[in-house]
């Protein structure tokens, strides 16, 4: 079962994504802050789904950069999806090393299919 970390400062989004992804067969750890996520990353983390805007002037890019620079227990090439309601963030997210960018709102099945493809490759 693939291990996914979901990070969004909106508790409702976090709970909804966790429930939907678990129904689709993923093991999900869900957090509302960068700090919580950072302290729970393991070598068994297969993918991240992270909102662009997080609390306290942090962003999903902060976590992405930490992973890509080897500053976490996760492999530097761990699958990473950034989401935002602002399409202008896509280029920056992809250039920073995200595997995919999802524009909010997106259909939940799109996320599940994308994660399944990423963790199998």
Instruction: Return the CATH number at 8.
Output: 3.40.50.2300
Per-residue pLDDT tens listing for the chain (121 residues): 999 999 999 999 999 999 999 999 999 999 999 999 999 999 999 999 999 999 888 999 999 999 999 999 999 999 999 999 999 999 999 999 999 999 999 998 999 999 999 998 7
Nearest-CA neighbor of 45 among 76, 2, 82, 98? 2
Q: What is the pTM of this model?
A: 0.95
For the chain, the domain total comes to 1
H or E element in which residue 7 lies = strand 3-7
Tell me how far apart the alpha carbons of residues 88 and 109 are, in angstroms, rounded to a whole number: 23
Q: Which pLDDT does position 40 carry in this prediction?
A: 97
Range of the domain at 90: 3-120
- Whole-number pLDDT of residue 83: 97
Task: Give the CA diameter of the chain.
Answer: 34
Q: Is 22 exposed, middle or buried (0-12, 13-18, 19+ CB in 10 A)?
A: middle
């Amino acid at each position: 079962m693939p291990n996914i970390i979901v990070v969004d400062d909106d508790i409702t989004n976090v709970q909804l994504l966790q429930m939907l992804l678990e129904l689709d067969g993923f093991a999900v750890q869900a957090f509302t802050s960068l700090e919580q996520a950072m302290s729970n990353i393991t070598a068994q983390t297969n993918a991240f789904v992270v909102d662009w805007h997080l609390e306290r002037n942090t962003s999903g890019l902060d976590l992405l950069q930490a992973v890509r620079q080897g500053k976490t227990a996760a492999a530097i090439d761990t699958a990473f999806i950034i989401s935002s309601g602002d399409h202008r963030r896509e280029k920056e997210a992809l250039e920073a090393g995200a595997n995919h960018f999802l524009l909010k709102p997106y259909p939940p099945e799109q996320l599940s299919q994308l994660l399944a493809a990423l963790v199998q490759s």
